[in-house]
Amino acid sequence: MSDEFAYMSASRLRDGFETEAFLPTDVTTAALARIERLNPALNAFQVIDADGAARAAAAADGRWRTGAPLSPIDGLPMTIKDTVDAAGWPTRSGSRTTPETPAVADAPVVAQLREAGAVILGKTTTPEFGWKGMTDSPLAGITRNPWNTAHTPGGSSGGAAAALAAGIGVMAHGTDGGGSVRIPASYCGLYGLKPTFGRVPHYPQTSPFATLISSGPLARSMADLATLLMVMIRPDPRDWYALPADPTDYEAIVAEPPSSLAGMKIAVSYDLGGAVIQKDIRGAVAAAAAVLADLGAEVAEVGPIIAPLRERFERYWLAGFAHRMASIPEAERALMDSGLRALAEQGLKLGLSDYYAGAEARAALGSEMSVVHQHYDLLLTPTMPTSPPTVETVYHSADFDRFDKAVPFTLPFNLTGQPAASVPCGLCDKGLPIGLQIVGPRFAEATILKAAAAYEYAVPAPKFEFSDR
């Protein structure tokens, strides 16, 4: 089957649908063939729904033929991360302790995609309960990075990013509770956004980290990211945390990126919270900051800004895992990821005071970042301090400590609820992608997208196409 559709943009595919040069069925058939051929090397899918995707594509064919598409994503193939409910499929969350019983209703983001006519190819892999910034699990095994299959695509939306970077689907859904959209976006050379907490509705809220988690889009361009974001932010009354409806036209913001960022004040921190980064990553981020300065922004280096995260939030993290494990019968805990279980057992020794101390520290961190944004519209950091580790690397070990090497730049903005994006900004010395993180104050997605689109226009993402040939 031809791979001509594999890396086409959403707008290019819509042009083809409108002229009937090809139809959603053609694109979906090619995507399913690509999954069959490439997924054995990547292991990016938990569920592949060829029959459901074919039916959705055929329905979209009819709408495009009559000139009545439901939305800009009608007929476009994409994926859902297996941490949210999709009616008819189980929600396994990478765990052998979860039931195989199919969900009876769609989570809000899935309902929104279906209502918009998206063709859902299936559900993508995740580490158990999304606990880490690599994607391997007792249920699904190891997911690999198409840039170099010896390396991880990151996590916890690793299956989503691996599939998308491999030319499977046009866009992808991910969730981000500590960097889980931005980390794989960085490692796989993609654009990813964690919106302001509450911007994308979510239900049911079953995680102990519910107030850290946001669904967000992954895409191969800012235009595609904005298109998916517009669908994902539609309100749903089931989410008690949901923000009011957002009228912003994000597609318009990125459609004509500004030729100048004059008047925008941008801070850059290479050592946020005391993080230590690779020399090549620092160089790439510094070059990206210089590009934004050339576009007219006022850019200033600001240093660490915040105190290290471990002392303030490690017990909060462990207590959450303990709460999650408490819901699993003791007889089934041997089925869990051994690393997650060990951390959860540490958490069982903690009390409520440890958890509430973390909640208080979140409020203090939010105030600290609010002060930063009194002076700066945006904050730039590396997305990740190091290049992607190999798949054999043990997460939260001396080789890849969580607080030092996985989330020092991403986690703060889950704790504060701020929006943050990762955009590709070059390749490291190993030839793997580097991500630039762009952070805004709460509700400032428009400012982030404006800067990200201007940067993309000036410095397009590195070209990459994955093939098993």
Active-site entry in 93, 95, 137, 156: 156
Between CA 29 and CA 25 the distance in angstroms is 6
DSSP character for 256? S
Work out the angle between the directed axes of helices 24-42 and 50-65 (0-180°, nearest 10). 150
Query: Do the bridges between strand 119-124 and strand 77-81 make them parallel or antiparallel, or are there none, so unpaired?
Result: parallel
Q: Decide if 81 is catalytic.
A: yes
Q: Decide if 269 is catalytic.
A: no
Q: Of 425, 436, 420, 403, whose CA–CA distance to 273 is shortest?
A: 403
Between CA 171 and CA 195 the distance in angstroms is 16
Ramachandran angles phi, psi of 354, nearest 5°:
-65, -40
Active-site entry in 95, 157, 180, 214: 180
Residues sharing a CB contact under 8 Å with residue 467, sequence separation 6 or more, in sequence order: 3
Between CA 456 and CA 458 the distance in angstroms is 5
The SS3 of residue 365 is helix
Between CA 118 and CA 48 the distance in angstroms is 15
First to last CA, the chain: 13
Handedness of CA 416, 124, 47, 96 (dihedral sign): negative
Q: Give the C-alpha distances (Å, rounded to integers) separating 337 from 69, 137, 152.
A: 44, 7, 17
Contact 372, 380 (CB under 8 A): no
Whether the link from the prior residue into 214 is cis, omega within 30° of 0, is no
The SS3 of residue 219 is strand
Residues sharing a CB contact under 8 Å with residue 178, sequence separation 6 or more, in sequence order: 133, 209, 212, 407, 410, 411, 414
Q: Across the chain, how many H-helices and E-strands are there?
A: 14, 13
Active-site entry in 81, 132, 194, 450: 81
Between CA 105 and CA 412 the distance in angstroms is 32
Ramachandran angles phi, psi of 372, nearest 5°:
-55, -45
Q: Which residue's structure tokens are 């290479």?
A: 270
Q: How many CB atoms lie within 10 A of CB 413?
A: 29
Between CA 107 and CA 111 the distance in angstroms is 6
Q: Which residue's structure tokens are 């017990």?
A: 315
> Which residues are annotated as catalytic?
81, 156, 180
